[in-house]
């Protein structure tokens, strides 16, 4: 397996705050890794280290084989960074913003203009190309920001919360652009607070919370492994909840209950007929019996709040 980004044991503290604690990341070339976590999880810290803006206190990281500390200059030639907040010059027009980056990278005036115009075209900003960026909407700024990180045709790009604060339309547009880059063979590490975004874009997801990895895997396995579907049974007569609980435990192995429901996480929805049959045999009248699929948000909440010690590691092979 060749990895475009590989980090082992990355650690970083700011005074008393442990921003990252021994984080491992592996991103195969040409794929998208979604780094997922709530506020303060350490997403930006990880991106800054990988993009050579900050040095790790421990561990090491390589981008396309180059050490981000010892070969920072080499790494900078290969990456593009779009930070959490749009880094554009509001006093310049869209074209000038991109030409600025192009010329810094050594393109001639004509080349840099051509690249700028191409990118603006691709990002749907052609009409606003000559307007100063302070007149841009939030979504346009984000797109310009992303365009700026592509001027140098990077092979690896880091996107820190690229769609935060965008309306659904602008978000979809940005997703399309990101997919386009992936299709070109670019490797992407993107951070997000939204599972849906990771689900849409990422080949693999790493969930971090308070600086540590709490889960990782494909979107599919995460949903399956962490958020198994829940079976809910509500008897008509709540006096019979005890009996229902026994039956559910016999079939599914465990249960939780409240005043009205008996619930259990199920691995295999095939147990449903068995439960129905056993309840029937026991003569229990059922008011409600259902399977609820886990929502991604539940998975996320479960991972990032229900495990204060951050010990629940789900790793897929």
Ligand X SMILES: Nc1ncnc2c1ncn2[C@@H]1O[C@H](COP(=O)(O)OP(=O)(O)OP(=O)(O)O)[C@@H](O)[C@H]1O
Contact set with other proteins (CB under 8 A)? 1-4, 6, 29-30, 48, 51-55, 62, 64-65, 73, 76-81, 83-93, 96, 100-107, 111, 115, 118-119, 132, 148-155, 184-187
Out of 38, 59, 71, 84, point to the residue binding Mg ion (CB under 5 A).
Answer: 84
Binding partner at 291 among ligand X, other proteins, Mg ion, none, C-beta below 5 to 8 Å by kind: none
Minimum CB distance to Mg ion smaller for 12 or for 255: 12
Sheet with 79-82, side-by-side order of all strands: 79-82, 156-160, 187-192, 32-36, 204-209, 212-217
* Residue 258 CB burial class (10 angstroms; 0-12, 13-18, ≥19): exposed
Contact segment (CB under 6 A) with ligand X among 36-44, 260-268, 272-280, 295-303 equals: 36-44
Closer to Mg ion by Cβ: residue 13 or 257: 13
Q: Would you say 165 or 273 has its CB closer to ligand X?
A: 165
Residue 46 to residue 69: CA distance in whole angstroms: 13
Which of 25, 27, 32, 41 touches ligand X by CB under 6 A?
Answer: 41
Q: How far apart are CA 57 and CA 295, in angstroms?
A: 36
What x-and-dash track marks residues 47-86 binding ligand X by CB under 6 A? -------------------------------------x--
Nearer to ligand X, 45 or 264 (CB): 45
Q: 151 in the Ramachandran plot: left (φ > 0), alpha (ψ -120 to 50) or beta?
A: alpha
As measured in angstroms, the least distance from the Cβ of 173 to ligand X is: 22
In a 3-state reduction of DSSP, which class is residue 188? Answer: strand
* Smallest separation, CB 314 to other proteins (Å): 21
- The token pair at 149 is 């990180």
Interface with Mg ion includes 307 (CB under 5 A)? no
Sheet with 286-292: strands ordered across: 256-257, 262-265, 230-235, 286-292
Q: Largest Cα–Cα distance in the chain? A: 83
The helix/strand/coil state of 26 is strand
Positive or negative, the CA dihedral 67, 69, 71, 73 is positive
Closest separation in Å from C-beta 153 to other proteins? 4
Q: How far is the CB of 7 from Mg ion (least distance, A)?
A: 17
List contacts with ligand X (CB under 6 A): 14, 17, 19, 37, 39-45, 84, 193
């Amino acid at each position: 397996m060749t990895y475009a980004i590989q980090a082992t044991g990355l650690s970083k503290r700011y005074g008393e705050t442990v921003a990252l604690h021994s984080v491992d990341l592996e991103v195969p070339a040409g794929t998208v890794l979604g780094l997922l976590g709530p506020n303060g999880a350490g997403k930006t810290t990880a991106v800054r280290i990988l993009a050579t803006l900050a040095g790790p206190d421990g561990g090491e990281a390589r981008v396309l084989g180059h050490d981000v500390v010892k070969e920072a200059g080499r790494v900078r030639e290969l990456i593009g960074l779009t930070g959490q907040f749009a880094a554009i010059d509001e006093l310049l027009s869209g074209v000038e913003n991109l030409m600025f980056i192009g010329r810094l990278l050594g393109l001639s005036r004509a080349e840099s203009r051509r690249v700028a115009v191409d990118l603006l075209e691709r990002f749907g900003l052609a009409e606003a190309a000559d307007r100063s960026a302070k007149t841009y909407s939030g979504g346009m700024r984000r797109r310009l920001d992303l365009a700026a990180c592509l001027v140098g045709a990077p092979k690896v790009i880091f996107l820190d919360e690229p769609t935060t604060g965008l309306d659904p339309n602008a978000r979809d547009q940005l997703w399309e652009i990101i997919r386009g880059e992936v299709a070109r063979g670019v490797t992407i590490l993107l951070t997000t607070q939204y599972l849906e975004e990771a689900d849409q874009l990422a080949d693999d997801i790493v969930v971090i919370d308070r600086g540590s990895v709490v889960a990782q895997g494909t979107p599919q396995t995460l949903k399956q492994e962490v958020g198994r579907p829940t079976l809910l049974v509500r008897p008509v007569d709540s006096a019979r909840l005890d009996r229902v609980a026994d039956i559910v435990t016999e079939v599914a192995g465990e249960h939780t209950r409240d005043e009205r429901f008996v619930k259990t996480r199920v691995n295999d929805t095939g147990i449903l007929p068995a439960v129905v049959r056993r309840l029937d045999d026991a003569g229990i009248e059922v008011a409600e019996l259902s399977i609820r699929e886990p929502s991604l948000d539940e998975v996320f909440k479960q991972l990032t709040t229900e495990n204060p010690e951050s010990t629940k590691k789900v790793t897929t092979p």
